[in-house]
Amino acid sequence: MSQVAAAPQVVLTDVHKSYGHLEVLKGISMAVKRSEIVSIIGPSGSGKSTILRCINALAPINAGSITVGGMEVNDPKLDARALRRRVGMVFQSYNLFPHRTVLQNIMMAPLQVLKQDKAEVEARAHSLLGKVRLSEKVNAYPGELSGGQQQRVAIARSLCMNPDVMMFDEVTAALDPETVKEVLVTIRDVAEEGMTCILVTHEMRFAREISDTVYFTDKGRIIESNSPKDFFENPQDERTRAFLDKVL
Ligand code: ADP
Ligand code: MG
């Protein structure tokens, strides 16, 4: 577990979100502290991805508020690019550019979006490739890598923007079982360096090992949140127990 400092970094207060007539978030509140590792688990369709998309301003909310480092996400004057610089997001599909090398994929956004100095970005990219244990693939193309390796490149690419918060949405769900572990190890390394992490995962054992706090969602609501030990050993709500019975 990580050292959790006092200042909350991501705060959701009574967030409501609808798609047309379908209300998918029905009053979500959570506070993620700096360096905290939070896992969101729950049945498919319960709103986990939508929570992450709202935090990143990929989906506008209908009511409530979200702040990231004090920045109001639903402020009409929000600079969405500035927000997304602070909040890295990695998805199930890694979407690397197939005709660019690993190094080029990692360097692209800092060079093109942030207009940073090429030598600096390149040095950072090499260091991140070391961190995700793929230094030897620096000049490979995505098609030459396994799914797990591509996902680790996607994580390095996201980290190269120097975010304050990393969000991982079921990043191992599409991987072969034998490559899941290497990606989880990478996430653990990132978390252990003090990065604030919000992860949506079906890897219950991993969530239990790595998290400071586990949130359980069902039908657009947070049903309970707790330390991983209490959450898994002593779930309070019937819906949580039913879910854990199915997945454990
Ligand atoms: P989870 O990640 O927990 O599986 P999601 O956040 O993806 O759940 O979805 C929550 C609900 O919102 C689901 O009923 C889903 O069908 C619906 N939903 C998600 N994205 C959209 C969208 N872009 N348009 C309409 N409905 C959506
Ligand atoms: Mg999802």
pLDDT at 8 (0 to 100): 83
Spell out the domains of the chain, with CATH numbers in brackets: 8-96+147-247 (3.40.50.300)
Q: Quote the pTM value.
A: 0.95
Ligand 1 contact, 50 CB (< 6 A): yes
Ligand 2 centroid vs 42 CA: distance in angstroms? Answer: 9
Ligand 2 centroid vs 119 CA: distance in angstroms? Answer: 37
pLDDT at 6 (0 to 100): 56
By CB atoms closer than 10 A (0-12, 13-18, 19+), residue 27 is: middle
* Pairing, β 213-218 against β 37-41: parallel
DSSP for the chain reads -----SSEEEEEEEEEEEETTEEEEEEEEEEEETT-EEEEE--TTSSHHHHHHHHTTSS--SEEEEEETTEETT-TT--HHHHHHHEEEE-SS----TTS-HHHHHHHHHHHTS---HHHHHHHHHHHHHHTT-GGGTT--GGGS-HHHHHHHHHHHHHTT--SEEEEESTTTTS-HHHHHHHHHHHHHHHHTT-EEEEE-S-HHHHHHH-SEEEEEETTEEEEEE-HHHHHHS--SHHHHHHHHHH-
Specify the residue with its C-alpha closest to ligand 1, atom 12. Answer: 24
Kindly give the confidence (pLDDT) of every residue in the chain, 248 residues in length, as a single tens digit, with 9 standing for 90 and above: 455 555 689 999 999 999 999 999 999 999 999 999 999 999 999 999 999 999 999 999 999 999 999 999 999 999 998 998 999 999 999 899 999 999 999 999 999 999 999 999 999 999 999 999 999 999 999 999 999 999 999 999 999 999 999 999 999 999 999 899 999 999 999 999 999 999 999 999 999 999 999 999 999 999 999 999 999 999 999 999 999 999 98
Ligand 1 centroid vs 156 CA: distance in angstroms? Answer: 27
CA-to-CA distance for 51 and 57, rounded, in angstroms?
10
pLDDT at 248 (0 to 100): 87
Specify the residue with its C-alpha closest to ligand 1, atom 24. Answer: 19
Ligand 1 contact, 201 CB (< 6 A): no
Amino acid at 91: F
Ligand 1 contact, 49 CB (< 6 A): yes
Two tokens, residue 246: 């199915």
Specify the residue with its C-alpha closest to ligand 1, atom 15. Answer: 45
CA-to-CA distance for 60 and 222, rounded, in angstroms?
19
Query: Do 90 and 170 touch, CB atoms closer than 8 A?
Result: no
**Number of residues written out for the chain:** 248
Ligand 2 centroid vs 106 CA: distance in angstroms? Answer: 25
pLDDT at 1 (0 to 100): 47
Ligand 1 contact, 44 CB (< 6 A): yes
